[in-house]
């Protein structure tokens, strides 16, 4: 294979995904050093993104795994650079020096194998070159304050790791974290309340699929509850209270509680958090005041509280759906 053809093949395989960026941001904050080059060494090691010493272009050597390794190495280096600039843009990191260092995305190749002659060279991949500051520091306002994931939607969502998290709920959580970054407390609470409401409704609808022939819940009652959960005219208070009352029927939902690991007491704790979020969000109405002021610290605590509370709702939801599918 010609070296130009191999170069094009590597370029076609480079793919930087959102997951790459999330993992890179999390790594940088967890393993922060003021030298990006030092962090990069550990990063590529931990994510198995080392470059091949040389891509060998010879019929006796399989090219495919070499191309995959080279493309993967470039993708992770690009993710690292983008993550640094994203964290700088978010105000989490600050350049501590005016000089920039280019992230190395070059790749050497050779046509030489033992017992043969040939040529060696390198690909520059100029289209992938990104420079980052030679020195960084954590923003002074974050050094002794709240966990950094709150300042970045990607990092915030990475804390959830909830199977089946609905797209609209996920989007609301992302927007809540984005609003929090700019200290827009009321918009943050509005998006957080939306995520909470969505998680409750999805959980309630899943509970209604469990054992439809159980006498503890007649078909008519199931239908009425389903209509209430789907109705735009029913308040979220009605919906949450209805779901809590439903879950109290442990002759019907005992297996759900056992499989999920969360019983009625846990669901009531989620209700308490959700009610505080709802009351705080209501400050969006003209002339309305929450029970306590929506300070930075309070909103941060509620945003952090979304992780364990929404996880409980989705664990119950997942358990209900699994049981409903069991013959």
- pLDDT tens digits for 164-204? 888 899 899 989 988 887 778 899 999 999 999 999 999 99
How many Å apart are CA 243 and CA 229, to the nearest integer? 9
Of the candidates 101, 99, 107, 29, the residue with the CA atom closest to the CA atom of residue 75: 107
Compute the chain's Rg from CA coordinates: 26
Region 125-154: mean pLDDT is: 79
Cβ atoms 209, 252 nearer than 8 A: no
- Partnered with residue 101 across adjacent β-strands are 132
* Contact between 135 and 35 (Cβ < 8 Å): yes
Per residue in 6-61, pLDDT (tens digit) is: 999 999 999 998 778 878 888 898 889 999 999 999 999 998 999 999 999 998 99
Give the residue-averaged pLDDT of 237-261.
93
Q: Given CA atoms 297, 299, 301, 307 in this order, what sign does their dihedral have?
A: negative
CA distance 44 to 42: 6
């Amino acid at each position: 294979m010609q070296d130009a053809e191999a170069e094009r093949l590597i370029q076609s395989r480079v793919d930087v995904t959102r997951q790459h960026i999330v993992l890179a941001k999390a790594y940088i904050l967890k393993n922060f050093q003021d030298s990006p080059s030092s962090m990069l060494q550990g990063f590529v090691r931990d994510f198995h993104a080392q470059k091949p010493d040389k891509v060998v272009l010879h019929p006796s050597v399989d090219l495919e795994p070499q191309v995959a390794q080279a493309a993967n190495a470039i993708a992770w280096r690009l993710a690292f650079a983008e993550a640094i600039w994203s964290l700088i843009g978010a105000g989490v990191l600050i350049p501590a020096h005016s000089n920039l260092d280019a992230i190395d995305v070059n790749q050497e190749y050779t046509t030489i194998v033992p017992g043969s002659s040939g040529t060696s060279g390198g690909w520059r991949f100029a289209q992938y070159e990104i420079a980052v500051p030679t020195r960084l520091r954590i923003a002074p306002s974050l050094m002794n304050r709240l966990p950094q994931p709150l300042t970045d939607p990607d990092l915030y969502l990475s804390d959830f790791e909830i199977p089946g998290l609905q797209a609209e709920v996920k989007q609301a959580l992302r927007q809540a974290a984005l609003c929090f970054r700019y200290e827009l407390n009321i918009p943050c609470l509005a998006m957080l309340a939306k995520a909470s409401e969505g998680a409750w409704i999805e959980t309630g609808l899943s509970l209604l699929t469990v054992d439809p022939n159980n006498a503890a819940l007649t078909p008519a009652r199931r239908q009425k509850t389903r209509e209430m959960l789907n109705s735009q005219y029913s308040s979220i208070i009605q919906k949450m209270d209805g779901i809590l009352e439903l879950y109290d029927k442990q002759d019907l939902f005992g297996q759900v509680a056992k499989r999920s690991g969360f019983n009625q007491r846990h669901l009531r704790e989620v209700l308490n958090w959700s009610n505080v979020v709802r009351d705080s969000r209501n400050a969006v109405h003209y002339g309305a005041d929450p029970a306590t002021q929506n300070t930075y610290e309070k909103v941060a605590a509620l945003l952090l509280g979304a992780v364990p509370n929404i996880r409980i709702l989705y664990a119950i939801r997942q358990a209900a759906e699994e049981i409903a599918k069991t013959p």
